[in-house]
Structure 1
Amino acid sequence: MQDAIASAQTSLRSGLILLPFTLLGCTAQPDLKNAFETPEYHAQPGLGVVNAASLYARGGTGQGVAVALVDSGLASDLPAFKGRLADPGFDFTSDSPGSVDHHGHGTQMAGILAANKDNQGMHGIAFEAQLIPLRFGDDNEPFFFDGNIARAWHYGFDKGARIFSNSWANAIPATALTEARYSQVMPESLAMARDLVGQGAVFVFPTGNELKREALAEPGLPLAVPELEKGWIAVVALKADGTAINDKSNYCGAAAPWCIAVPGGDSGAGHGLLTTSKNGEYVETAGTSPATALVAGALAALQSRFPEKSPQQIRDLLLSTAKRDGIYANSEAYGRGLMDLEAASR
């Protein structure tokens, strides 16, 4: 039975549909899915909401896919990230190779994205993906670090990343932007984003945590610079159980055509998403930041499921298969709908 399942999965990944998979499909697929629904899986409530186990059962774990984590760095020596680095990364704040995380935000996002599946605590949505940790700054508006961000993106791309997890945004409503105004604030980043999207990269950003009806500057940037849309995703955060928007997320607003909804959790004990801390403990986090990391990881896991597709094709697949029924039909709030990795991985 196991040989037949392995053969069928290999055939699917190569684009072939063989009769043995059809014969096994009714019974083997649920068994494979259930095998991934471990205590670690259930400890991270967002995974079940987006049907991640279905993607894992079809071979989509992120293996061999690099993701640039553009954040406050990473406590890369933690067991949760053993074997998870494609490159040691770079600290653009201190202008030194490698990665540290004094703030802790980057390590928490890395846990959501790619923490190991090791029977400890929780695991990331793409638990076999490879991270490139890039520290650009701490505790300030991103426009103060425009040059660092541009260099971080270039470094990540140069080291093989085509997916960029950016759990930050400038506090300017996207609808207030023009290309000229954004170029005044983030000239180096804008030029780099244009270049890398033109070469096939995908950038993921949070809509913001201000309880507003519009996304912030970076998630909504294709409004001002339409050529970026093909390589862009904005992310709105839901409650941990996915039943509604969380207690602080901005709506998708005018960014709805490239916006998707995933669990980000709420504030308060027991309402967030479980992840890793820079001290090695498991802690809760909440907001559009972890929601962004969840989507970036989902892209990596889908990329490993469909290696023949480009990252921008994977981005289109993720958006086009989102659930649009019920409350998720409200595109102003939820954009393209609730991310559904069962549908995306078929």
Structure 2
Amino acid sequence: MTPTRRALATTLALTALLATAPTTAQAAGTPQHPWYFDTLRVDDIWEHTKGEGITVAVIDSGVDLTLPELQGQVLDGTDLTASPQGAHVDTDGHGTDMAALIAGTGEGQGIQGLAPEAQVLPIRVTNGGMTTELPARWAAAIEYAVESGAQVINISQASPHDDPTRQAMAAALATAARNDVLIFAGSGNDGEGLNNPSAPNSLEGVVSVGAVDRTGEHIPYSTYGPQVTLAAPGNDVPGHCDGLSGPACVREEGGTSSATALASASAALIWSQHPDWTKNQVLRVMLNTAERSDDQRRDDYTGYGIVRPDRVIVDGEGDPGDPDSPPIFRDWEAGLVPPATPEPTPETTPDDSAEPAPGPEAEAAATSDDGSPLPWILGGTAAVVLVGLTGWLLLRRRA
């Protein structure tokens, strides 16, 4: 362990008394009270906010709203898969677990989420496994989430990153940025393999989230690199170990999927407490209040640090700064071309000395020559990005 990582581990251990305190059933972690609730002082956070007024879009395998902890928490959503069955169908279970980590109520001994009064907008893009159409579906899903009023988008998925992916998602990511929407995506679970960058987490406009354990240490499977922006707990996190029909459990080994859901929930809590803030301000305070080592420098393993929404909500820390200034992706956002808008029709000033009104031929010509460009179409990228996309692999760690 490096001195930097040792310092961070010591800080978190002292904060939560997790490494040395005698364990009890609750301190050891349960689906209703996972270990990070103590670290993040969740009970204190909930005295201020539980995420009310915030919608988090979960782009994943669907969300099963019949689970007790998700009843009343899930909106209608949409299914973008090749054979749609509905956004509330989840044969894989992954999307449902992510939704529960964000907004679960703990009812019926189910998963207790970090922001239990936030609403989940389910957008089904896969039922697990491989698909050649994932980037196009991500793009359509982001556009749908923006149009549906989501403030936060959670993508606990990853695939190889190449130029077709960037092209497929460029317009959708620009749409989200223009509409003040935050996007979080898992950094991937390839840290022990080739550690190749993946999408969408390494694309401009997406906050990449890595995974740490209960000591604050980077988990080896968590993909690392310059794209990592923040980190959150990835192991010993609630889920369903035997499928959605079984009871909730605590998974000893999870993934950056879970870390991403907890980062999204943290943003929802902060935004709920400060509804007048922009995405730039929410992200800025998340960055400058994140738990990090004493040298306060960013690294490729946890980015700017581990999310600490309690510091913002309970302690009032963090300077939101300029609402219009992005804390990251500045050059990218500055270069975004605004969508085209119709040019105004020139107005004429009444003049008593003007010539007589034009005849029928001239009037017909005037009214048929609009001069305004076609409106900007949000879904315009979906049809052109499917050509040539092969071999997409969904990289998700299953406990």
TM-score range relative to shorter protein: 0.7 to 0.9
The count of aligned residue pairs is: 280
C-alpha separation in 1, matches of 2:78 and 2:257? 21
**Alignment match, 1:156:** 145
Gaps of 5+ in 1: 1-36, 223-227, 266-271
Letter in 2 for 1:103: D
In the superposition, relative to structure 1, how do residues 84 and 324 fare at CA in structure 2: closer, same or farther (>3 Å)? same
Structure 1 residue matching 2:145: 3-state secondary structure? helix
Structure 2 residue matching 1:67: 3-state secondary structure? strand
User: Which aligned runs of 4 or more in structure 1 are off by greater than 4 angstroms?
Assistant: 39-42, 212-215, 326-330
**Alignment match, 2:120:** 131
2:217 pairs, out of 225, 236, 244, with: 244
C-alpha separation in 2, matches of 1:210 and 1:249? 6
Structure 2 residue matching 1:146: 3-state secondary structure? helix
Letter in 2 for 1:75: D
Identity among equivalent positions (%) equals 25
1:278 pairs, out of 221, 227, 244, with: 244
Contact kept? 1:136, 1:152, Cα under 8 Å:
yes
In the superposition, relative to structure 1, how do residues 51 and 63 fare at CA in structure 2: closer, same or farther (>3 Å)? same
2:77 pairs, out of 66, 82, 89, with: 89
Gaps of 5+ in 2: 1-26, 317-399
2:177 pairs, out of 176, 186, 197, with: 197
C-alpha separation in 2, matches of 1:186 and 1:339? 27
C-alpha separation in 2, matches of 1:92 and 1:194? 20
Listed one character per residue, the Cα deviations across residues 278-319 of structure 1 (whole Å, up to 9, x for unaligned) are 225203341100100011111111111111112332122111
- Higher Cα radius of gyration: 2
1:219 pairs, out of 201, 219, 238, with: 201
Contact kept? 1:46, 1:242, Cα under 8 Å:
no
Listed one character per residue, the Cα deviations across residues 118-141 of structure 1 (whole Å, up to 9, x for unaligned) are 473441011110001111013345
Listed one character per residue, the Cα deviations across residues 75-133 of structure 1 (whole Å, up to 9, x for unaligned) are 11111111112x21111113454420011111111111110144734410111100011
2:305 pairs, out of 337, 340, 344, with: 337
C-alpha separation in 2, matches of 1:327 and 1:245? 17
**Alignment match, 1:26:** none
2:133 pairs, out of 126, 144, 164, with: 144
Letter in 1 for 2:261: A
Instruction: Show the 5 A alignment for 1:276-315.
Output: 276=240, 278-279=244-245, 281-285=247-251, 286-315=254-283
C-alpha separation in 2, matches of 1:97 and 1:306? 33
Contact kept? 1:146, 1:187, Cα under 8 Å:
no
**Alignment match, 1:25:** none
**Alignment match, 2:209:** 235
Letter in 1 for 2:42: A
In the superposition, relative to structure 1, how do residues 242 and 111 fare at CA in structure 2: closer, same or farther (>3 Å)? farther
Q: CA deviation at 1:333?
A: 1.4
Looking at secondary structure, tell me which structure has more helix per residue: 1
Contact kept? 2:291, 2:307, Cα under 8 Å:
yes
Structure 1 residue matching 2:146: 3-state secondary structure? helix
C-alpha separation in 2, matches of 1:187 and 1:238? 31
C-alpha separation in 1, matches of 2:246 and 2:67? 6
Would you say 1:325 and 2:285 are equivalent positions? no
C-alpha separation in 2, matches of 1:312 and 1:103? 34
In the superposition, relative to structure 1, how do residues 95 and 327 fare at CA in structure 2: closer, same or farther (>3 Å)? farther
Listed one character per residue, the Cα deviations across residues 237-263 of structure 1 (whole Å, up to 9, x for unaligned) are 011x14311241112x2124xx11111
Contact kept? 1:69, 1:133, Cα under 8 Å:
yes
In the superposition, relative to structure 1, how do residues 53 and 40 fare at CA in structure 2: closer, same or farther (>3 Å)? farther
Question: TM (normalized to structure 2)?
Answer: 0.64
Question: TM (normalized to structure 1)?
Answer: 0.74
